[in-house]
Structures are given as C-alpha cells and as structure tokens.
Structure 1
Amino acid sequence: MNLMQLPCAHGIPPVSGRLRVTPEDFVVREWLGFAADGEGDHWLLTVRKRGANTHWVAKQLGKLAQIHPRDVGYAGLKDRNAVTEQAFTLPVRSAMTDWSGVTGDGFEVIRAERHRRKLKRGALRGNEFEILIRDFTGEIASLEGLMERIAALGVPNYFGPQRFGNDGSNLTRAQRWFGGDIELHDRFERGFALSAARAAIFNDVLAERVNAGSWNLLQAGDVANLDGSNSVFKVDALDDTLTERCRIQDIHPTGPLWGRGELASQADVAALEREVAQRNAVLSEGLARIDMDQERRSLRLHVSDLSWSVETDGLRLRFRLPKGAFATSVLHEILQDAFAQGHLEADEE
C-alpha cells in the first residue's frame, strides 16, 4: 500500500496550493472539554508554542519548576512546525509560584489556573484547527459543494502520514522488527512501530471500503461506533433506526486496530478485514504476537464547525476534530497532494 496514495471519498480534490509556508499557517487549539477546577494541588497551564514540540516544552517547564519531567502532565502531542495552544499540568509544590507570563524558547504561558488532577494522555475531547492554504487556486462553486458534503457526510478517518514517520520509517521499522531483522528495546521506538503497523492495516481496510462506497454506510456484520466516544456495538442486522443514525453521523462503521484475539466484526465485513490482514501478513502476524488486543476505530471522521473563507493570503479553513484524528484526513479531500506535502499534525490521544 502506498501511504500517500489513498482514495478520496468525495472525488478529485478541487483545490491546489501550498501548506505551512510559516508556522502561523497551521494553528491548533486543544479542546479539553472541561475547565480548571480553580483549586487543587496542580497548576493547569495553557501554553502557546511555536517551533517546539510537546516533549521539549514539557521538559522546559519541568526545569523551570525543578521537578522530574514525569511529573509534567499533558493530554496530547502537538506538532513542532505550527502555532499551538495546549494544556500542561505541574504540581503546585515546585520552584515556581507564579506562572503568569512565563516564557521560554518557543513557548509562552498564556493562562495559569489551579486544578485537582494531573493531566493524563488522552484526557481531551479534540482539537480546533485553523489552516491557511497559500497560492490557492480552484473553482469556488466546486469548493462550496465539497464543503457541504464534508459537513453532511464526514471524511474517511485515515491515519495521517505523520503516524508512519519520515518516509515511512516507523512502518519500515515495524516490518523489520516483526520479520526478525532487528530488535527494538526502546519503548518509544516500539510504540511508534506498533502504532504504524496498526495504522497501515486500518488505512488499507478503509481504502477498500472507500473504493466500495461503504466507508460511511453500516453493513450487517459491522461494529458501530457512537460518535465522539469509545463506545462500540455489533450490528447483527440493519434497520431503519440504525441507518438513520448513521446518516446523521450519530454512529459510524469501524475498522480494525489489529492485535491478538478474534475480530469483533462478522460476515462480509470480517472477511474483508481478514483479506487485508493476510496481504499485510508480516504486520498482522507480528501484532498478534504482541500483548495487544483487537480494537476498533471509526472509519468515518465527523468534521465539526467547518467554515472557510477566501482571503488575500489564500484559502483559510476552520474546523474541529475529535481526539486521535488527523487534519490531513480533511485536507486530503480538499487539497491536491495534501498527504505528500508534509506532516500536518495534531494527532493524538
């Protein structure tokens, strides 16, 4: 499978242009889904960063507070080549008593409030994006129609190219590890390799269903996902209620995040997933040997609060995505060569 050549669901993208000419062209605001408690043993900081990744900022905050980096909490990873706003927590018991206006190399604290709990990975609802496509060309009428379809129907929930590493290095590492060519002892390298392997199989299954026109339609044998949650249930048979709930994006069909154990899907859906796993046998068999269970991920991505405007500098897009989703999955339907133009994040759990 070519990681950059995945089928689009809404036809040929009508827009051409350039992404990320400057970090300010790609703005991400983390959406926690909750407010600070106003009291407690932690500081909840909102940090704006530019040209710095999450690990780097967490380490710098820890140095300022004179605490171990593991005591710095954050909910998700944000890209380096962007302007992002995200939350961090640090214990009140530290060398810093006032975080207001604190700055460092590539970051500034824009809000500091007391909070009761340390932030854990995945403890967010999603991310809000504001993306500028420079040197924009395209027919406005075609773009307007596409935006309406995306709002109504969603987009395929592909893992973006950043999940696979530069030039697919994470996936290559997984293939070599599972094939017995190398050993991976570093837990971060192992984690990246496992994530890339699961993402590759998932994207392959999703591409098959995009080609078949069933990526956003429930089938008997599917496992459905409740929008905006991790809740899933089996679809033994279709009825009008399930069909309507899927149409309005309340529920979505899912694909496999491969691991040990039996597939939750059934019938033709399971047959397709096994066929894809077999043609990616090195990955699927390797994942089955690892202590990871089968999981499910929505095949469809619900794009919320989608708006756009043509400005002097180009085409500006604004939208909100749930956690674990990739902005590139939206851009892939809009912009020609979006996947190939680079690593656009805000990824992550």
Structure 2
Amino acid sequence: MIPLPLAFGAPLLRADIRTTPEDFQVDELPAFEPSGEGEHLLLTIRKRGANTVHVAKLLAKWAGLPEMGVSFAGMKDRHAVTTQRFSVHLPKRVAPDIAALASDEVEVLESTWHNRKLQRGALAGNRFRLVLRNVQGEAKAIDERLSLIAARGLPNWFGEQRFGRDGGNVPAALAMFGGRRMRPDQRSLLLSAARSALFNQVLAERVAQGNWDTPLDGEVWMLDGSRSVFGPEPWTDLLADRLGRFDIHPSGPLWGEGELRSSGDAAALELGAISDEQSLQLRAGLEGARLKQERRALRLRPANLQHRWLEADVLELTFALPPGCYATAVLHELGPVNDVAGVSASE
C-alpha cells in the first residue's frame, strides 16, 4: 500500500487512542423512522467490547433464528462503545423477553416493529466521539489545523481497516484474480479492497498536486450526500459557487468495466496514477469480475466538527461522517495516532 500524503502540511501530534473502549464512541445515525408495524423487530443496541457480527449471532440465538434472520446496516468495531440498529425477522410478531439480552456487552435502548428488513447501508452516517490521550504537540497548532479541516474539509481516504491486517487484502485480491478460490464473503471483501486501493492512489496523486478539492479539466462531480454524479462540463461561476458551498465534490474512480467517465486532465491523472504493474492487475481483475465503473467523492467535510482539551494532553473530538467515510481520515491529518487496541478506526 502506498503511504498517504497529508493535505495540510507536516504532522502536528502524536497520541494514543482506544486506551479504553469509551475513548472511541460511535452512534449510528438512522436513515428512516420505523413504521411501527410489520414482522421485523427493530432494535437499537448499545454494545461495548463486542463486534457487530457477534451481537447479530447473539440475537439469532435469542430469537431462535438462523443467522440470516438478523440484519444490520453497518459494521461497528469491537474495541469501542457503539450504538446501532439490528432487525430480527419474527413473522409471528412474538418477541422473546428483551430483558434477557442485557449483559455487560449489550444494552437494548429501543425496540419497535418495522415492515421491512434492515438493509446494509440503510443509515444516514455515523457520529463519533474520540478521545486522544498522551497527546504530544503544540495545542495552538492543533487547534488551527482542526479549524482548517472544519472549514475546508479533507481528503476522503478509504481507511486502513478496508485493507485488512498489515494490508493483506490487496495481495489476497491479486491471488484471487490469479485463480485462487475464495468464499463469497471473502470475494466481496477483496473486490472492495482492490477498488479502494486504486481510489486511494488516485487521491494521493491529487493531494500531491494540491488539487484534491479544486477542479481539473474533465472533472466528474458528485453531489454531496448522494451517489449521483454529473459532468464533465465546462467550469462556470455556478459550479464554483456549488463547490464552495460543499454542494458538490470532485470525484475519483471506483474501478470496473466500462468507459472511464472523466476526460481531459482529470482522466489523464487518474489513469497515470494507476498505471503501475500491480494497479493494472487490479484493474484487470475488477473488470473480469464484471464490476461497473463508479465514482466516489475525493473530498469529505466532517459535520459539526468540535474539539476540546479535557487535560493538557487529552483531546476530545466530536463529528459526524456520511456512510462509507472513515474517522481515520480525520486523525491522519493531525499526525500519527497509536491504536492501543491494535485495530483501526471505524467507518
């Protein structure tokens, strides 16, 4: 994996995170209101020291269902305190005793009925509260960097956890493209890692050139909070205004078969950034897997980014991110942050 450049200059701090699970809190932001009727029990659960799949298995056992009867919108880390929704399919609308779920790991905050299974990605985003401890760095400079991020946004990197322990998912994807058989769930994970690696390489080149949040000739634009794209089209004052208001963002490729949508300078940069031998293998593998060309915003602006110093060397950050965006992208722009739990920050 390539080292990711910094958009705003040299690192400003060193710190530790996840000294305790409470130092990494994530609350899922719901995308819809429950219908109050139907055969899917919608549970809002706060978990501590347990990953999402583990809790889903607990729910399946509690309800006497196969694991496929329990659904969730997004994955949340084990070494954290997180709140998220699960749906449990109970066609007879008879729920076991919810109090029986209570443990040191699991607390049910809310339960109601809904008329549809909870789908992956059915969330509006995630709200984070991160506490950095043993911070080494000048507080004033860190304050200024965070104010700059709040005003300008930051590069929308795919986080380290997308690439697995020691970045092993990309080599595994290359092996899969070379003929190694994988389970369907592994295959999906490795295809995502391959796409993400190529996207990060394009974004790294744009950060290096200083145009990750400014237009290039042939730019494809993505609407904020949406997967909708448009362009290329001539640069106008209207586009400049929309870019300044964070209504639109420059985008980069999520590789697949079909024509690259960008053109001109943007296309030349994208293709040049992923023309090394490994990238060509990843591109060919993704095309062979029949994934279609898609796009992802190059720029991210954390919503309601705030910070405060709890002690001279303890910094609290709070912000919200859209689905599929990574808290590690925010931490990356500050400096090296040691994950005491040995895992990467959540989406």
If the length of structure 1 is used for normalisation, what is the TM-score? 0.93
Are the equivalent residues in 1 in contact too, given 2:223–2:229 (CA < 8 A)? Answer: yes
Name the aligned partner's letter for residue 119 of structure 1. L
Cα distance in structure 2, aligned partners of 1:101 and 1:10 = 50
Query: What residue is the counterpart of 1:238 in the other structure?
Result: 235
Q: Counterpart of 2:273? A: 276
What is the CA distance between 1:222 and its match in structure 2? 1.0
Tell me the distance in 1 between the aligned counterparts of 2:151 and 2:238: 18
Distance 1:342 1:288 in 2: 34
* Residues 153/294 of structure 1: CA separation in 2 closer, same or farther (3 Å cut): same
1:266 and 2:263 aligned = yes
Contact 2:16 2:339 in 1 (8 A): no
Please, which moves more after superposition, 271-280 or 292-301? 271-280
1:221-268 CA-to-partner distances (Å, cap 9, x unmatched) read 111111111111113210111012112211100001111111011111
1:141 aligns with 2:140: yes
Partner residue of 2:119?
A: 120
SS in 1 for 2:123: coil
1:182-217 per-residue CA deviation (whole Å, 9 max, x = no partner) reads 512301111111111101100000000001111011
Q: Percent identity?
A: 45
- 8 A Cα contact 1:78 1:346, kept in partner: yes
CA RMSD of aligned residues (A): 1.9
Query: Number of matched residues?
Result: 343
| 1:208 lines up with 2:205 in the alignment | yes
Paired residue type of 2:47: K
Q: Contact conserved, 2:17 with 2:337, CA < 8 A, in 1? A: no
Q: CA offsets, 1:114-159, max 9 Å, x none?
A: 2222110011110000000011122222122112211111110000
Matched, 1:74 2:81: no
CA distance in 2, matches of 1:276, 1:110: 47
Q: How does 1:196-345 map to 2 (within 5 A)?
A: 196-279=193-276, 280-312=279-311, 314-337=314-337, 342-345=342-345
Q: Any conservation in 2 of the 1:31–1:128 contact (CA below 8 Å)?
A: yes
User: How much has 1:323 moved relative to structure 2?
Assistant: 0.1
Contact 1:206 1:215 in 2 (8 A): yes
Separation of aligned partners in 2, 1:262 and 1:343: 37
How does the TM-score come out when normalised to structure 2? 0.94
CA contact (8 A) 1:14 1:334 kept: yes
Name the CA distance, whole Å, in 1 between partners of 2:104 and 2:288: 43
Greater shift in the superposed pair: 331-340 or 298-307: 331-340
1:87 corresponds, among 72, 85, 97, to: 85
Give the equivalent residue in structure 2 for 1:152. 151
Which amino acid is 1:106 matched to? E
- Quick one: distance in 1 between partners of 2:290 and 2:83? 34
Deviates more, 1:263-272 or 1:39-48: 39-48
Q: CA separation in 1, counterparts of 2:86 and 2:176? A: 34
Q: CA deviation at 1:57?
A: 0.8
| Contact persistence 2:331–2:337 (CA under 8 A) | no
| SS of alignment partner, residue 257 of structure 2 | coil
Alpha carbons of 1:201 and 1:342: their partners in 2 closer, same or farther (altered >3 Å)?
A: farther
**What CA distance in whole angstroms lies between the structure 2 residues aligned with 1:177 and 1:91?**
35
Counterpart of 2:195 in 1: which secondary structure?
A: helix
Equivalent residues of 1:25, 1:132 under 8 A apart: yes
Give the whole-Å Cα distance in 2 for the aligned partners of 1:232 and 1:341.
Answer: 38
Question: Which runs of 5 or more structure 1 residues have no equivalent in the other structure?
Answer: none
| Displacement after TM superposition at 1:341 (Å) | 8.8
Alpha-carbon distance in structure 2 between the residues aligned to 1:293 and 1:340: 38
* Contact 1:89–1:118 (Cα < 8 Å) also in 2: yes
1:228 aligned counterpart, secondary structure: coil
Alignment of 1:37-116 (within 5 A): 37-92=35-90, 93=92, 96-100=95-99, 102-104=101-103, 106-116=105-115
Q: 1:15 to 1:323 in 2, by over 3 A?
A: same
Distance 1:157 1:342 in 2: 23
Unaligned 5+ segments in structure 2 are none
Partners of 2:62 and 2:101 within 8 A in 1: no
CA deviations over 1:268-302 (Å, ceiling 9, x no partner): 11111112232111111111111210110000112
Of residues 276-285 and 103-112 in structure 1, the stretch that sits farther from structure 2 once superposed is 103-112
**SS of 1:76 mapped into structure 2:** coil
Is the contact between residue 67 and residue 94 of structure 1 (CA under 8 Å) also seen in structure 2? Answer: no
Is 1:6 the counterpart of 2:4? The answer is yes
Aligned to 1:176: 175
